[in-house]
Amino acid sequence: MSYKEECIKAMELLAKDSRVIFLGQNICYEGSPAYETMQGIPDSRKIEMPVAEELQLGMSIGLSLEGHIPVSVYPRMDFLWRAADQLVNHLDKIEQMSVGRFKPKVIIRTMVGSTEPLYPGEQHCGNYVDALRSLLCNIEIVDLTRPFEIVPEYEIALKAPHSSIMVEYAERIRGE
């Protein structure tokens, strides 16, 4: 199976759980590799977001506190940093801050941007796996480098009691 086919299967696996809702940029409209892997997901399960990364993660946290499992899609890992306050000071620490009363679970799907066929610039192709691992204590960071890892790792993330950041590679989805 190709990297893209495994991503499609992983999204379909997540969608089988009625608690899962997808939100992010370019998930309902063409323009990103994430869109290409979500064609089989009904639009009624997706919320297309504007460019408002911190708002998106805040909404994801709120949805999770209401019993949903949000899959919050950030088409470029670089733009996940726009939601750093929500990520580092809220999602990663709410359970500790609330002495276990609140346990948000969000699956963040993000991608290291493609550098081919055109180089998009430094702010579109960064890989920050190691930086995230050094900043976050309670969120699992999963670096999806090989196709055969994708579906099992998303299944683990779905079943886990904590939040996860799933890092994919746009070049591999597009087959470049």
In this predicted structure, what is the pLDDT of residue 36? 92
d(CA 127, CA 123): 10
d(CA 21, CA 19): 7
In this predicted structure, what is the pLDDT of residue 74? 96
In this predicted structure, what is the pLDDT of residue 138? 97
In this predicted structure, what is the pLDDT of residue 116? 77
Is the Cα torsion angle 77, 83, 87, 88 positive or negative in sign?
positive
What CATH number does domain 3-173 carry, 3.40.50.11740, 3.40.50.2020, 3.40.50.970, 3.40.640.10? Answer: 3.40.50.970
Burial of 82 (0-12, 13-18, 19+ CB in 10 A): middle
In this predicted structure, what is the pLDDT of residue 175? 79
* Nearest of 110, 88, 91, 123 to residue 25 by alpha carbon: 110
d(CA 72, CA 47): 10
Question: In angstroms, what is the C-alpha Rg of the chain?
Answer: 15
Cβ pair 34, 109 in contact under 8 A: yes
d(CA 114, CA 134): 24
Domain ranges of the chain: 3-173
| Number of neighbouring beta carbons within 10 Å of residue 45 | 16
Structure tokens at 58: 């805040």
* Nearest of 127, 126, 132, 112 to residue 174 by alpha carbon: 112
| Residue 118 to residues 9, 123, 134, 174, Cα–Cα distance (Å) | 28, 14, 31, 13
Q: What is the pLDDT along the chain (176 residues), one digit of tens a residue?
A: 899 999 999 999 999 999 999 999 999 998 889 999 999 999 999 999 999 999 999 999 999 999 999 999 999 999 999 999 999 999 999 999 999 999 999 999 999 988 777 767 777 878 999 999 999 999 999 999 999 999 999 999 999 999 999 999 999 898 75
Cβ pair 167, 141 in contact under 8 A: yes
In this predicted structure, what is the pLDDT of residue 176? 54
